[in-house]
Every structure is written in structure tokens, then in C-alpha cells.
Chains A and B, each alone.
Chain A
């Protein structure tokens, strides 16, 4: 395993700048808010008003929704950076003319692709989770000071939202990783364009011949689609947030769809490695 560790350290050195960009964006965001608060404070316009929250939905619901929402920016950034990193995963060494140098090392190709896959996907997950945890501490401290704090709802809100983004990132990242084994450049856009082409072709064929060919993008969207807010309105009305949380755990993680998503992602990783392994290096 020390070889895998060595490769992961190398990949970390190569990718750390890209991986850490979400930190800087978040830091910039916080600096902007702090400056705004300081500006308002010194101008005497500081007015924190939580009265609306007191007359709104119950505390656990507010905590749940707020803590889901704090994942919005880091979650979207995570998916964006997963695409950026994985679309270069298996073709960048070739573009940079150092593929032969890396291939001439006595290490399994599965370790090499595994490290790139982990760096592209799990690396971004880790960054997202660290930012999420920081947001969680900041937002819930504010909620606890100025309103009320319910740990169960808040923590579940954050975790469930994180899992949704992680799963979406896993599937999109695996697809892009696969494309990086096939295409030399702009793998995500080239792969997506082909899928779009096939989608339209099948749509036309289905319409004209009354066939029922499976539509690739429709299937992918179905596979990716996760909505932790689904059914929330009804549960809020019945004040049953705990029921809602347990339902969301089942709909997001503990079901067959998760197994299909994992199998799909794993197959793409294996397929990508196989293509990459059999590529001739000129």
C-alpha cells in the first residue's frame, strides 16, 4: 500500500491548487460578509432581526432547512471541481508529455487510476465536507445566539444535503473520469455532446418508428436525481420533521438506487482503467 500512498501524495501535489480553490472562494465570501457587517456596524445600520423566524415554521424545521441550504455553494463548487479534475484525470499526463515517465514506474495501473479517481472525487468531497462543517459551526452558532438551535435537525440537514451532493458528484465524476480515458481534450464536453447526440437520435427514431429505445441522458438524470426536500411541505404541515428526516435517509441512501449508483460508478471506473491500460503510448 505504500506505493498507493506515494502516488496519492504525488497526485495531491499536482492537484492541490485546484482542490483548494473552494476554500479560497468560501474565505472570500466570509470576508465579504464580515466587511459588510463591519461597515453596517460603523455606520450604525446594524439590525439583526429574527422576529420573522419566531412567527415562521417550528425550530427543527428552520434548523433543518438552513443546514441543508448551507451546502448549496460548497456542494455546487464540489460538483464543478469534480468535473474539472476528473475530465483531465487520464489524459493530462499524455498532454503534458510525462505519461511515459509515470508508466515507467513499477506500480500497478489500478493504483494510478485509483489515486486519480479518489483525488478527483473523494478529494473534492473532503473539501466540501470541511467547508460544510465550518458553515455548520458558524450558522448554528448564530442561530443558537439569536434564535434557537436543534442539533438533531441541523446535523441531519447538513449530512443529508452533503450525501446528496456527494452522490451526484460520484456519478457525474465517474462519467467524466470515463470520458477522460476516451478523449484527449475537453473530455466532459466531448462526452456530453456525444450523449446529447445519441439522445436526439434515439428520440427521433422513437418518434418516427414508434420504437422505445432507452434515452441515455434521461436515464442519467433519473440516476442522479436526488431531492432531500421532497415531501417536506407535508411533513412541516404535520410538524413531523423526524419522520421526514428518516424518510429522506431512506430515499437518499438506504435503498436499491444507491447500489445501482455505486455499481454504475464502479463500472465506469473499471471501464476507464481498462481503456487507459490498453491505450498505446507513442
Chain B
């Protein structure tokens, strides 16, 4: 069953084509990564999904057609842009009360449980919280909402590695079950690689790939040969050959056989480099 269906989604900013005919179906119960360079169109894609941006093409989420923003869809979809998008003028308690009062899916018991396990200062203004504390507050809010879809748009932007890890581990451990769908947009794929089930590569507004992560990794391998045997790789026309000390490597189809080549499993960022190229993955 699909929770969202996107057909030929196109978005222009003036003359710039930010999204170029994206068509995909998002299945229920999956954790999907949206990977692209800065400016590839990841945020635009998410904002179009929610109707925050005017667009061409058809979007259906949870059987609702999205032409413009509909507040009602947020009963079932939580959206987290990044932790600094909380309202700095409210205190922690006021933020929690505000979200709790507006969302029917608010689970007060869970919120209380999460609050008890945190050291969040209830009377402190969000503006005066550290990034780590803001992350905890955002997690508390998100995890207390019993929604069907969670959209995370670069949620850990500006956080240090400890909080980035904590963020994703908590999302996975406390939120996810097989009835829920999570879409995570990021350009720091290493941190989410272990939790993703599907991956979408997006570049210059175009969807390059949408595949099951395990399948994708099975299909490809990193072949490393000594530098003087570079032609062994070149004959398979890889998009990218990387040079290391005395060796060259390329990602190729796993079924290819190259004598004496060292074979390794590629990471998602290796695959992204291979499919998209560039150095900013």
C-alpha cells in the first residue's frame, strides 16, 4: 500500500527548474532516505509534498490530493524541518502545551514519560536552550505524536555528532513501527545509512534512483586494482574512478569479474558518488 503517490512533479523558482518531473510511489512502513547535494531539490520536494510550495504535477498523500497546503493532513503527518525551526519566543512548557492542544494524535502519557526521562528545563525559553536541548524538545514533540508519516528535512542540521546519532537512534527506537513511514532528507548519509530501507537519489531536481538499499548494495561492488591495471576498470565504463595510494577503485555491477581485483561492499555515499558524481554528497 502506498501512502503517497507523486506523478510528474515539477517546480520552478522563477526560471530555475528546482524539480523536474519526479514520479514515484512511497510505500507504507518504510524508512526512506532522500539523498542529494545541497540545492538538489530535497527540501523543495518535501515542501511540495505538503503543499507549502506551488507546483505542477499530481501529489496524493493518504488519499488526499495536494494542490496547496491543507492543514488537515498534519493530523497524520509530522514535519520537522530542522531543530532551529522551533519558536524561540515560547518556553519549553508552552511549546509542549501548544502542540498538545492542537494535535488530536498527541499521546500525553508518552510525552510525560519522555519528559520524565529528560532534563528539559520547562520554564526556560527555547531561545535559551542549547542545540542539544532543542533536539530533545523536538524529539519529545515528534515522538508524542501518533502520526502515520514523519517527514524529516535535514533534521540534524547544525548539531554535533553525538546529538545527530541520538536523534536518529531515538526516532528509530521510539517512533518507528511497520505501520509508519519515515522520509529523511539529508546530505550526511553516513549517519542514517544503517536505518534506511529505501533510498532516493536526487540531483538537479531529477530523481536519479529509488531503490531498496540492500538490493542496491547487492547489485554493486567496489573493485580495486593496482594503478597499472586501470584499463581493467575502464573497460566497464564506470562513471568515477578514484585513486588511492598505488591503487584505483570503481563501483561496478557485482556480476562483473575482474581477475585479482579486491572487492568490497559500497556505502550509500559511494553509490551516490557513482550515480550522481561530484564531491558534496
Residues of B within 8 A of A3 (CB): 101-102
A100 CB → nearest B CB, Å: 5
- Residues in A neighbouring B91, C-beta threshold 8 A: 13
| Interface flag for B99 (CB, 8 Å) | yes
* Complex Cα spacing A59 to B32, Å: 80
Interface size class of A (residues with CB under 8 A): 20 to 34
Q: Which of A231-278 contact B (CB under 8 A)?
A: 277-278
Stretch at the interface among A44-52, A90-98, A125-133, A200-208: A90-98
Which stretch (B65-73, B176-184, B227-235, B265-273) binds chain A? B65-73
Residues of A within 8 A of B81 (CB): 100-101
CA A96 to CA B50, docked complex, whole Å: 21
- The residue of chain A having its C-beta at the shortest distance from the C-beta of B84 within the complex is A97
B71 and A98 within 8 A (CB): no
A13 touches B89 (CB 8 A): yes
Query: Most chain-A CB neighbours within 10 Å: which of B68, B74, B98, B99?
Result: B98
Determine how close the nearest CB of chain A comes to the CB of B10; give it in whole angstroms: 15
Q: Is the CB of B101 within 8 A of A6?
A: yes
Cα separation A106 to B78 with both chains bound (whole Å):
10
Task: Knowing A105-B102, A105-B103, say if A13 contacts B52 (CB, 8 Å).
Answer: no
Of all chain A residues, which has the CB nearest B98? A10
- Which residue from chain B places its CB closest to the CB of A278 in the assembled complex? B68
Chain A residue nearest in CB terms to B100: A6
- Say yes or no: B71 contacts A106, CB within 8 Å: yes
Distance in angstroms between the alpha carbons of A242 and B252 in the assembled complex: 96
Q: Is residue B90 within 8 Å, beta carbon to beta carbon, of the partner chain?
A: yes
- CB under 8 Å from chain B, chain A span 106-121: 106-109
Question: How far in angstroms is the closest Cβ of chain B from A267?
Answer: 22
Contacts A6-B101, A282-B47; A100 near B94 (Cβ below 8 A): no
Q: Does B217 contact A (CB under 8 A)?
A: no
Q: Mark A1-43, 1 if CB is under 8 A from B, else 0.
A: 0110111011001100000000000000000000000000000
* Interchain CA distance A109-B51 in the complex, whole Å: 14
**Contact residues in A for B8 (Cβ distance below 8 Å):** none
CB distance from B230 to the nearest CB of A (A): 45
- Map CB proximity to A onto B31-52 as digits: 1 under 8 Å, 0 otherwise: 0000000000000000100101
Contacts of B84 in A (CB 8 A): 97
Q: How many whole Å from B217's CB to the nearest CB in chain A?
A: 33
Are B90 and A14 in contact (CB-based, < 8 A)?
Answer: yes
B75 touches A10 (CB 8 A): no
- The reply to whether A98 and B47 form a contact with Cβ atoms under 8 Å apart is no
* With contact pairs A6-B101, A104-B79 given, residues A109 and B71 touching in the complex (Cβ less than 8 Å): yes
Point out residues on A near B: beta carbons under 8 Å. Answer: 2-3, 5-7, 9-10, 13-14, 93, 96-98, 100-109, 277-278, 280-282
Return 12 A-B CB contacts under 8 Å, by A number: A13-B91, A96-B87, A98-B85, A100-B79, A101-B87, A103-B52, A104-B74, A105-B98, A106-B74, A106-B75, A106-B104, A280-B53
